[in-house]
């Protein structure tokens, strides 16, 4: 008891003062959000890159530097801009002294992204190696760090390099374990910078990114122009730009930006746009349409410039500012006044577009009314099916949805780390259920192969028991606002049947809930194909290359087991693969991948074309393994 009492003592010895780098390394989530391994677009390694590039963008916005170069070789990241360059005498301070920067008092920087003097310090502290060089007026200076600790400060020397700043860093592998860069995520990130900064050219490993038409280009890249119901409406004003159209997809697809920052979680500006758009449409057509009928199938982008923006976290993914300028209009009023004038004028001047938009809205209205009766019956069936016992093994964070309000912050933070595994068969779901983290990981069991939903209407989601129960488990019937799990993981066997189930599930999500994929919530669980072991060591291998490396490492004739299904992996072993070392393959829509085109190609009636594709891309694996 004496020892327990001593552990809980609170006195002067309990108080610690951490220096800047210690605090960042102890609490990295405060500065860069979740750590992750690079499987998700908001993982910390991408935030590190963004923090460095944000400074380059601020220089460009000020009129200095029209080019930014990003290079990633192995795990070394380099960024070079051609702005004014960090003042040489303050080079070390700018990257290693917290709350040090040039943007606190300068009116010119009031619409910048990086206002808090934290970004590059976090990158420095969380890198095993960090180097910064400033080129300024024919002179240059370099400083090198390890985990935030200055190891070498070079003397100022003459330089023939153009003005600007060069940063090179290697993320610390003790912080970001088993990390890897997915270039598609960086591709999207760089395109967004270009859409929001006319005249800016970005280069990434030799590829050039540039945009002439801003948000119009963004929507053209994100959609299939042939599927748009009317030409993109592109409107620009002082400190605001919007682009709007409708297509044939379900849901809402709205991209929002603040001061050149992609706000993936929206915020006050995105909500203001959603509400203002509904009001303007109702006023224009003089009809009280349902908000969901107006916004269903919308594809839009909205960008605003805000004076000294307030974000809800250091990672700047959600805007909290209520006003556009100090003592100026509210965000809601600002966006509403702009749309009321510009969109209203556009629709009056373009009656063909106005008519196409009206038809899209009224089609949504008809479909909603047709589904109303079916939805009620389906919801009743879902309740009677006792979802949580029959199909879903939920996690504790959701079994305690009625958590006291005082714990809401902790509840939301935990909810952001929740995962649901969608798997088929009693043995597979049983193994995952027994080995999962019951706090944050849930399991949904499929019964047999799902229906091929390509080309079907949303009516089938309610009429098919599996689909209906799944959408209730995810809570996505009315959009992603109620999504109960941040990570939706398809976990199937690594055989033909498992691949087919995986394809059918991705078809379901892309057909009816495309935002789930577009927002980066859907993953494929990677599980080991082989277990290689001797009496001293066991190695799990995810492909044949890893298997061969394991055989070479262990030497002799190790025992090799080929896992043919998830059910063959014991719960004790499975815990290794869905814990901290989990390997997830994100489902990513690459540039030019338009949903209906993809589904038509892989799930449509083009049998011969698909057969030719399979033959040309078939990988024949010669199994030379003994004891399998």
Q: Are 486 and 420 in contact (CB under 8 A)?
A: no
Average pLDDT of the segment spanning 90-116? 63
pLDDT digits (tens, 9 = 90+) for 235-273: 999 989 999 999 988 888 899 998 888 888 888 899 999
Interatomic CA distance for residues 182 and 68, integer angstroms: 20
pLDDT in tens, 586-628: 998 766 567 777 777 677 776 677 677 666 666 544 343 333 4
Burial class, 417, CB count within 10 angstroms (exposed 0-12 / middle 13-18 / buried 19+):
middle
Nearest CA to 343 out of 383, 393, 405, 300 is that of: 300
* 470, burial (CB in 10 Å: exposed 0-12, middle 13-18, buried 19+): buried
For residue range 51-67, list pLDDT tens digits in order: 999 889 888 888 899 99
Q: Is residue 465 pLDDT above 80, yes or no?
A: yes
Q: Across residues 428-441, what is the average pLDDT?
A: 88
Write the pLDDT tens digit of every residue in 492-543.
Answer: 887 788 888 999 999 999 989 988 998 889 999 988 889 999 999 999 998 8
In a 3-state reduction of DSSP, which class is residue 345? helix
3 state SS of 292? helix
pLDDT at 201: 96
Tokens of 21: 């780098």
Strand-strand pairing, 419-424 and 487-491: parallel
> What does the pLDDT read at residue 364?
94
Task: State how far the alpha carbon of 146 is from the alpha carbons of 75, 88, 130, 371, in Å.
Answer: 15, 20, 6, 60
Q: Could you tell me which residue, 604 or 188, shows the higher pLDDT?
A: 188
How far apart (Å, rounded) are the C-alpha atoms in residues 161 and 313? Answer: 37
- Is 297 in contact with 249 (CB distance < 8 Å)? yes
Secondary structure class of 624 (helix, strand, coil):
coil
* Number of Cβ within a 10 Å radius of residue 386: 10
Q: Does the structure show a pLDDT above 90 at 345? A: yes
Confidence of residue 102 (pLDDT cuts 50, 70, 90): low
- 147-174: pLDDT as tens digits: 999 999 999 999 999 999 999 999 999 9
Does residue 199 come out as left (phi exceeding 0), alpha (psi in the -120 to 50 range) or beta?
Answer: left
Confidence tier at 27 by pLDDT (50, 70, 90):
confident
Q: Would the pTM count as exceeding 0.85?
A: no
Least confident among 219-223, 341-345, 394-398, 454-458: 394-398
Neighbour tally for 72: CB within 10 Å: 15
DSSP 69-130: EEEEETTEEEEEE-SS---GGGHHHHHHSTT--S-SS-GGGTT-S--SS-HHHHHHHTEEEE
| Phi, psi (deg, nearest 5) at residue 237 | -145, -175
Q: How far is CA 129 from CA 83, 124, 145, 168, in A?
A: 24, 8, 6, 8
Mean pLDDT of the chain: 84
Compute the distance between CA of residue 409 and CA of residue 311 in angstroms, rounded to an integer.
16
Q: What is the pLDDT of residues 374-427, one digit of tens each?
A: 888 887 777 766 655 568 888 887 655 544 344 444 544 555 689 999 998 777
Full DSSP string of 501-526: HHHHHHHHHHHH-HHHHHTT-EEEEE
Query: Which sign, positive or negative, has the C-alpha torsion 422, 426, 428, 432?
Result: positive
pLDDT of 406: 40
User: How large a percentage of the chain has pLDDT more than 70?
Assistant: 85
CA 610/CA 617 separation, integer angstroms: 11
Write down the pLDDT at residue 430: 83
In this prediction, residue 620 carries a pLDDT of 43
Query: Nearest 5 degrees, angle CA 382-CA 387-CA 391?
Result: 125
553: which 2 tokens? 């490492």
Give residue 14's pLDDT band: very low, low, confident or very high (50, 70, 90). low
β-pair partners for 135:
140, 164
The vertex-38 CA angle with 34 and 42, nearest 5°, equals: 45
φ, ψ (nearest 5 deg) of residue 530: -135, 150
Domains identified in the chain and CATH numbers = 21-209 (3.30.565.10), 215-367 (3.30.230.10), 385-527+563-588 (3.40.50.670)
Contact 131, 95 (CB under 8 A): no
The residues, ordered by sequence, that sit 6+ positions from 414 with a Cβ below 8 Å of its Cβ are 397, 439, 440
């Amino acid at each position: 008891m004496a020892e327990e009492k001593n552990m809980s003592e609170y006195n002067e010895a309990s108080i610690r003062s951490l220096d800047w780098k210690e605090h960042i390394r102890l609490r990295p989530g405060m500065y860069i959000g979740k750590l992750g391994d690079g499987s998700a677009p908001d993982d910390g390694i991408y935030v590190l890159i963004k923090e460095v590039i944000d400074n380059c963008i601020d220089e460009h916005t000020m009129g200095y530097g029209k080019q930014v170069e990003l290079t990633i070789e192995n795990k070394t990241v380099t960024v070079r801009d051609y702005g004014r360059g960090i003042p040489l005498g303050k080079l070390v301070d700018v990257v290693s002294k917290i709350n040090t920067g040039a943007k606190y008092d300068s009116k010119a920087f009031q619409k910048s992204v990086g206002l808090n003097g934290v970004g590059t310090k976090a990158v420095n502290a969380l890198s095993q190696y960090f180097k910064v060089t400033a080129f300024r007026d024919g002179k240059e200076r370099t400083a090198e760090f390890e985990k935030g600790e200055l190891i070498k400060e070079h003397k100022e020397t003459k330089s023939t390099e153009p003005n600007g700043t060069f940063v090179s860093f290697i993320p610390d592998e003790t912080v970001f374990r088993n990390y890897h860069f997915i270039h598609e995520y960086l591709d999207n990130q760089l395109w967004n910078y270009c859409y929001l900064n006319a005249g800016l050219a970005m280069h990434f490993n030799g590829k050039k990114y540039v945009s002439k038409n801003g948000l119009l280009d963004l929507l053209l890249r994100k959609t299939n122009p042939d599927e748009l119901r009317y030409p993109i409406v592109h409107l620009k004003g002082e400190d605001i730009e919007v682009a709007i159209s409708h297509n044939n997809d379900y849901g809402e697809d709205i991209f929002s930006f603040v001061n050149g920052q992609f706000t993936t979680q929206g915020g006050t500006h995105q909500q203001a746009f959603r509400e203002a758009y509904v009001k303007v449409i109702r006023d224009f057509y003089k009809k009280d349409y349902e908000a969901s009928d107006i916004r269903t199938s919308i594809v839009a982008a909205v960008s605003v410039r805000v004076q000294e923006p307030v974000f809800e976290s250091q990672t700047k993914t959600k805007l909290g500012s209520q006003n556009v300028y100090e003592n100026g209009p509210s965000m809601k009023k600002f966006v509403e006044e702009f749309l009321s004038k510009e969109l209203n004028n556009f629709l009056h001047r373009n009656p063909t577009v106005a008519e196409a938009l009206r038809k899209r809205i009224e089609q949504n209205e008809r479909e909603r009314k047709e589904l109303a009766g079916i939805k009620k019956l389906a919801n009743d069936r879902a309740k009677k099916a006792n979802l949580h016992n029959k199909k879903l093994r939920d996690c504790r964070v959701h079994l305690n949805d009625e958590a006291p309000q005082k714990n809401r912050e902790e509840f939301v933070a935990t909810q952001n780390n929740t995962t649901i595994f969608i798997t088929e068969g009693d043995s597979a779901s049983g193994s995952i259920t027994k080995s999962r983290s019951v706090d944050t990981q849930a399991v949904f069991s499929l019964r047999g192969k799902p229906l091929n939903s390509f080309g079907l209407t949303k009516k089938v989601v309610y009429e098919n028991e599996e689909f209906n129960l799944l959408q209730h488990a995810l809570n996505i019937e009315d959009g992603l606002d109620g999504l109960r799990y941040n990570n939706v993981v398809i976990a199937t066997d690594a055989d033909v049947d498992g691949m087919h189930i995986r394809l059918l599930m991705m078809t379901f999500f892309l057909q009816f809930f495309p935002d789930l994929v577009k927002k980066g919530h859907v993953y494929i669980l990677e599980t080991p194909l082989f277990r290689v072991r001797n009496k001293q060591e066991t190695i799990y291998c995810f492909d044949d290359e890893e298997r061969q490396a394991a055989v070479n490492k262990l030497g002799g004739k190790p025992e090799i087991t080929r896992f043919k299904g998830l059910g063959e992996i014991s719960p004790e072993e499975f815990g290794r693969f869905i814990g901290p070392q989990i390997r997830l393959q994100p489902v990513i829509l690459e540039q030019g991948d338009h949903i209906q085109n993809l589904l038509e190609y892989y799930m449509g009636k083009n049998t011969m074309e698909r057969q030719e594709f399979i033959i040309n891309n078939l990988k024949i694996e010669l199994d030379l393994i003994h004891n399998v």
